[in-house]
Structure 1
Amino acid sequence: MKNLLKVKIAFLMLTAFFVYGTSMAQDEKPKSPPATATGEINGATITINYSSPSVRGRVIWGDLVPFDQVWRAGANEATTFQTSKDIMVEGEKLPAGTYSFFIIPGEMETTFIFNEVAEQWGSGKYDEAKDVLRVTVSSMQTSTMEEQLVYEVTKGGFEVRWEHGKAKASIK
């Protein structure tokens, strides 16, 4: 009787260990992990926080992300753009602060939108009346495939790249 009880306890412990180990092994990298691009331009610290989705064999521009419609510029929560000082984006003033950042993609031109409501989910509650700045930049196709959405703060501005698409804005 005592041996049977010991066997049952050992079996239950082994089962619990197996279930725990299996559940931990299933923790995988999120499909759209959080990412940050940061840099300094003319004394202003620029920080872009976003979730970085992957292409995963999909057509992105004009399909998954339709042309001529507001897009949240990433996945999950809206992308945020923060500047520590007033800057000029494409020759237009953007005061220091934190903004949600949206994009209206196009085949030849893309609109970058800086919205005063910094914390919001996706673009579902996007309100154009809260836009602080909109600038139009050129869109281009690249020969380099970017599997994951990438923002980069460069010496003279910032750019966004995903799949074979790229758009960039100058900052002074």
Structure 2
Amino acid sequence: MKKSTLITSIACLFMMLLSVNMEAQKFSSLDKSPLDVTAYPSSSKETSKLVKVVYSRPQLKERELSTLVPNGKVWRTGANEAANITLYKDMKIGEKAVKAGEYSLFTIPGEKEWTIILNKDINVWGAYSYKETNDVIRISAPVSSGDSLEAFSIAFADDGTMYLGWDTVRVAVPFTI
């Protein structure tokens, strides 16, 4: 009898601890600007990537792009943390050589062109602590237009061009080895 009481007591204690632990696990709701990853080459069958970009995807939600991303101001190129770009090999972005490594990707939007910035500061929130002195490169990229995109998006074309798109704005940034 004592043995069964002991086993029952241990089982009850275990269930109580499990219940407390389950209640302690609080999961946050889905992020309103979900994290995304794009890479080049973009084919999932290609395992040897040259570039990877990790960024958050803000939504327009009936707002004007010009109020979310004002021309002439440094932008984190997405939402939340500044976009993170990893080059797995030395590359050229536009005509500028960049060593393999991990960088933050900032942009300065403009009407006809955007300034694309790779900065050596990583793991930074937004552009609040952005320091121009830590820029690795700055290049200009032309603006074109396309169909409206609700969510900010980054994608690579087969030729290595990285496209930034949001609303009807498209920016093409060439990457080459």
TM-score by length of 2: 0.77
Q: List 4+ stretches of structure 1 deviating above 6 A.
A: none
1:109 is aligned to 2:113: yes
Residue in structure 2 matched with residue 50 of structure 1 by the alignment: 55
CA distance in 1, matches of 2:120, 2:148: 32
- Report the CA distance between 1:45 and its aligned residue: 1.6
On the 8 A contact 2:39/2:49 being kept in 1, the answer is: no
Matches within 5 A, 1:1-150: 28-40=29-41, 45-60=50-65, 62-142=66-146, 144-150=147-153
CA distance in 1, matches of 2:35, 2:150: 15
On the 8 A contact 1:107/1:140 being kept in 2, the answer is: no
Give unpaired runs (5+ residues) of structure 2.
1-22, 43-47
- Report the CA distance between 1:44 and its aligned residue: 5.4
Alignment length (residue pairs): 146
Give me the CA root mean square deviation.
Answer: 1.9
- Report the CA distance between 1:168 and its aligned residue: 1.0
CA distance in 2, matches of 1:154, 1:162: 16
Give the secondary structure class of the aligned counterpart of 1:49.
Answer: strand
Match of 2:170 among 162, 166, 171: 166
- Report the CA distance between 1:108 and its aligned residue: 0.3
CA distance in 2, matches of 1:146, 1:56: 11
CA distance in 2, matches of 1:89, 1:99: 13
- Report the CA distance between 1:40 and its aligned residue: 2.6
Give the secondary structure class of the aligned counterpart of 1:55.
Answer: coil
Give the secondary structure class of the aligned counterpart of 1:63.
Answer: helix
CA distance in 2, matches of 1:102, 1:83: 15
CA distance in 2, matches of 1:170, 1:39: 11
Residue in structure 2 matched with residue 6 of structure 1 by the alignment: none
CA distance in 1, matches of 2:59, 2:132: 27
> How far does the alpha carbon of each residue in 1:50-97 deviate from its partner, in whole angstroms, 9 at most, with x for none?
01011100111x222110110000000110111100001111101100
Name the % identity: 29
CA distance in 1, matches of 2:119, 2:58: 22
Give unpaired runs (5+ residues) of structure 1.
1-19
Instruction: Look up the equivalent residue of 2:171 and give its one-letter code.
Output: A
- Report the CA distance between 1:28 and its aligned residue: 4.8
Compare 28-37 and 107-116 and name the one that shifted more. Answer: 28-37
